[in-house]
Structure 1
Amino acid sequence: MDSFQADWLRFHPGTHPLGHMLHYEGNWNITRFHLLPDGRNSANNHAELRALLERFNTVATATLGEDSPCYLVALQSPNQDKPHRYRTNRLKKRYNLTAGWEFFSTSDALTYTVWSGDVTWKTNGFNRLLLHIYQSDFWDILWVNKENGAVFRPYDAGADISQPTPEALMARISSFYGWMPQDGTGFVTFNQAQMATSKFQVTKSCAEAIQTVIALQKK
């Protein structure tokens, strides 16, 4: 068992680091923010693209912490086409990612190899990679805080995030509830064992946004 696998299972037992399945797999504190207007997946102009990058960084820094030691995680599977394999190989070299954990996903019917490496999260330090994710050159890239297991998983125009406690997740939601999807693609999940002793208060508008997401949440 490599160090990433050991840390991941310590923070998120019984789950796999499969980005698009995170909110289905675990009993943990996780939500989604969509960072372009009107639920769009692409920016209409350069100003919107700059704003998207800024929002990626804002959410990531709030989730992971500035200057926090993290794992950068990428997955490989046998169904990758040649361009994606090429881009992934460049990513491995750029961030010195090494292969470790292998697992089979029953949802995808694929075997994945986890490539991970040590990085330090810095605001605007990964804009090139975030742009590649926006352009769908990569998917299921994760940053995982090495000290508390917090996860930042950007997708083309938004991000799924997890936090170590319900209180921490609610703090992120309170800051960014205006970016919570209101079209049925959002979700809010808490670790139920932790919720038994958790207490927090939110504004009325934040509570309404959360209730809308929960009411429309797809199981």
Structure 2
Amino acid sequence: MGTVPDQRTSDELAGIVDLFGGLTRAELERALSEVAFRADGQSVDEDAAAGAIEASLDAFALVRYEPRGNGHATDGGDESGDGDNDGDALFVPGPTAFPRTPEHAEDLPHILDVSPRDPDQDAVGEAARDRFLADVEAVLEGEGGRGDGPEYVNEGDDETENVDEGNDETENVDETAIEDLIDLSYDLEAWAPLNLVAERTRLVEALEDA
């Protein structure tokens, strides 16, 4: 399992958590260990598994949320906001995944001592929205600025400052990232009761200004 999963790997991770309705990180890691052992008697590469989980979270193939009432952030991070302590946070299939049960995983419900879960869809949607908004802000903040400072064009003794006319601050915009987020906004709205029109409008305007 590579550190950056392909769609198949993300779909299989989503398929494993979907068998239970949701799994904590520790439970998911144990499930991966069981699948690896049943496949060829080998232990799972813990670093690769962790990388695959994080990449699937980044791609919204998995969504991490904190069940209500635990006193933690809805996105699964701890109250300090560092996001390193999952605690009782659950991973559930995300909007970009097509969950599929990997080979040798069919018996996991009989192996793991985990009761079926019924995730709070409102809390799951809220966590996904918070994560999406954070990604939107990160991308839009990245489009500002003009490199390392003002640029100049020298024509003889004529020195023209700041060649990006009109204070264009879209020089560093990541158009592909913006397009991906626009597509993701539609996936999220189809997957959960979310309204992301305002955020999508900001993204479209940033793309048009690029």
Q: TM-score range by the shorter chain?
A: under 0.3
Larger Rg: 2
TM-score (ref. length: structure 1): 0.23
TM-score (ref. length: structure 2): 0.23
Q: Which has the higher helix share?
A: 2
Of structures 1 and 2, the one with the larger relative CO (CA 8 A, separation 6+) is 1
